[in-house]
Amino acid sequence: MRSLIALCFLTLVGCGESHSACGSTTDAPICHRGWSGSASCCLEGDALRPSCDGDTWTCPSGYFTESECGTVDPVCEAIDAGPEDGGDPCGGPQPTCYQGWSGDAGCCLEDATIGAMCDGGGWSCAPGYFRMSECFRLSPICEGADAGPIPGTYDNCEVTSDCQIVANTCCGVCGMASADDMAAIARESSTEYYRNVACPESRDGPVPCPGCATQLNPHLVATCDMTGVRAVCLQVDLATEPYSTCTTDADCFLATPECCACGEVPLHQTIALNTSRAGDINALTCDFDVTCPPCVPTFDAAARPACVAGACTVVSD
């Protein structure tokens, strides 16, 4: 009976799955799968236990212990996956290419991806797509000032009064600005926007501006657009469709781009819109919780609305 017990004990300790048989009294290591079979980057969530081969813990082919992995990450791609195979220009893992917003690597769309192409000289991305290491940042959404080469969010808003129209250059333009010359940003971010986006050269000191007069364009208004993934300051040009479209003078009326406008309105702040867009002024320029007082604006007696070349225009007699 003692011989039988001893035999059973020896059989147990000699089992291929015991710690002693693999020369260790500690738990077996975890084997992580190497991305594309390489230990330069191992996938954190794709792991298994090794097998006991004689007196050595052994990982399956393509799997490595944590000490053998260069990095252990939830995702391995592009630059994270380690160096490519030096023998073959395209022998390493296929990098992921991210679509740059408007074709620019300043901001790349996180979910708009394609695989890189092997062109004989190495991996390359299609035009308008960039590797993770080339993208200034990855984001689920890129728009407005966020899509430029400087990181940061300059157009966040909760209500329209959070937003303002500013020049997108150091000095603005001579004469009346167009929509291309201006941007809608958050008021609280105006200093950062000027220093980082509109006029980075101002960091080195005051920037000399030409001695010409600039004129605000009354058709350009800033509103807080809440229809997208996040609320953002948006520039609206009231001189464009559908706000100013017309066929006759009767289609047009005088307005001013202010929330709850009252009192006298100077000629240079007067615009003309299609009569069907009368409710748009307050919708665009007022915060959603504003109640306007019972008053109306008073316009210059010389100003009248007219339909000129299919657009409502202010003319003065």
Instruction: Give how far the C-alpha of residue 3 lies from the chain's centroid of Cα atoms, to the nearest Å.
Output: 74
Length of the chain: 317
| Whether the predicted pLDDT of 232 surpasses 50 | yes
Find the mean pLDDT for residues 99-116.
84
> What is the C-alpha separation between 134 and 132, in angstroms, rounded?
5
Q: State residue 208 phi and psi, 5-degree precision.
A: -70, 135
User: In the chain, which ranges are continuous DSSP H helix?
Assistant: 2-13, 190-193, 280-285
Say if residues 315 and 304 touch (Cβ distance below 8 Å).
Answer: yes
- Look at 39 and 84; give whichever has higher pLDDT: 39
Q: State residue 242 phi and psi, 5-degree precision.
A: -95, 5
> What is the C-alpha separation between 257 and 158, in angstroms, rounded?
20
- Put simply, whether the predicted model's pTM sits higher than 0.75 gets the answer no
Say if residues 104 and 129 touch (Cβ distance below 8 Å).
Answer: no
Find the mean pLDDT for residues 285-313.
93
Say if residues 278 and 253 touch (Cβ distance below 8 Å).
Answer: yes
Say if residues 277 and 284 touch (Cβ distance below 8 Å).
Answer: no
**What is residue 164's predicted lDDT score, i.e. its pLDDT?**
95
Say if residues 142 and 136 touch (Cβ distance below 8 Å).
Answer: no
Joined together, the tokens standing for residue 47 give 């792991």
| Whether the predicted pLDDT of 37 surpasses 70 | no
> What is the C-alpha separation between 125 and 135, in angstroms, rounded?
12
Which amino acid is located at 231 in the chain?
A
Predicted confidence (pLDDT) per residue in 132-174, tens digit = 878 877 777 776 655 554 444 688 899 999 999 999 899 999 9
